[in-house]
């Protein structure tokens, strides 16, 4: 059962998402968000520090939370497919949210969660190998940033591939490149 706080957050997020269908984040005010769900400004600030925190919460709810069940290399494709389907379904909202955010805000919104998926795959590939922890972290960071950038470009329509084509491309990268990087350390 959802708490009252979660219900309120969800109402605020849905109002924001509705507004993001029509305009970019920098053109949306807190007043518009609370008006869209019949709440007041004080209620907004009780739950969120600012609009970017609401965007982060909303993005996690819509896009990233469904990925928590996918772990390791064996489920990489399924997790990636779920991510891309969620992003495609909410492409306009994501695009309008991302275009007005700083790189640091995008990192907190997007890349951290991609890093969690990549780390699970890297850890599974590196399992039973004596590899320096820092090297594993560097591989994870590199591929998280790479995958995040590729996916971000795909959201903005700068990469023209279907969900399945993106999955095949990213899956090939994770299997070939990460395996190669780890196996060179033997």
67 band by pLDDT with thresholds 50, 70 and 90: low
* Domains of the chain: total: 2
**Does the residue 165 lie in any domain?**
yes
Write the pLDDT tens digit of every residue in 165-178. Answer: 998 888 888 778 87
pLDDT, position 166: 92
Q: What is the mean pLDDT of residues 61-90?
A: 73
Say whether both 40 and 74 belong to one domain.
no
**Does the residue 101 lie in any domain?**
yes
Say whether both 26 and 86 belong to one domain.
no
Say whether both 179 and 110 belong to one domain.
yes
Say whether both 35 and 78 belong to one domain.
no
10 band by pLDDT with thresholds 50, 70 and 90: very high
160: three-class secondary structure by DSSP = coil
Please report how the helices 133-155 and 76-89 are oriented relative to each other, as an axis angle in degrees rounded to 10.
30
Write the pLDDT tens digit of every residue in 22-58. Answer: 999 999 999 999 999 999 999 999 999 999 899 989 8
Q: Containing domain of residue 96, as a range?
A: 69-183
Say whether both 29 and 120 belong to one domain.
no
**Does the residue 130 lie in any domain?**
yes
For residues 168-184, one letter each, b for 16 or more C-beta atoms within 10 angstroms of the residue's C-beta and e for the rest, the string is eebbeebeeebeebbee
């Amino acid at each position: 059962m959802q708490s009252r706080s979660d219900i309120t957050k969800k109402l605020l997020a849905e109002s924001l998402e509705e507004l993001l269908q029509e305009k970019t984040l920098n053109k949306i005010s807190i007043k518009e968000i609370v008006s869209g769900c019949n709440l007041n400004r004080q209620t907004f600030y009780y739950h969120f520090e600012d609009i970017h925190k609401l965007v982060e919460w909303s993005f996690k709810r819509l896009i990233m939370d469904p990925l928590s069940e996918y772990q390791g290399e064996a489920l990489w494709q399924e997790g990636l497919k779920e991510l891309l389907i969620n992003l495609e379904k909410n492409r306009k909202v994501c695009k309008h949210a991302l275009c007005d955010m700083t790189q640091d805000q995008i990192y907190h919104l997007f890349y951290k969660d991609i890093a969690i998926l990549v780390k699970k795959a890297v850890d599974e590939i590196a399992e039973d190998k004596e590899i320096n922890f820092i090297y594993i972290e560097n591989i994870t960071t590199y591929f998280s940033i790479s995958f995040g950038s590729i996916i971000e470009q795909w959201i903005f329509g700068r990469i023209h591939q279907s969900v399945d084509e993106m999955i095949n491309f990213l899956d090939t990268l994770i299997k070939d490149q990460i395996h190669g990087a780890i196996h060179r350390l033997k």
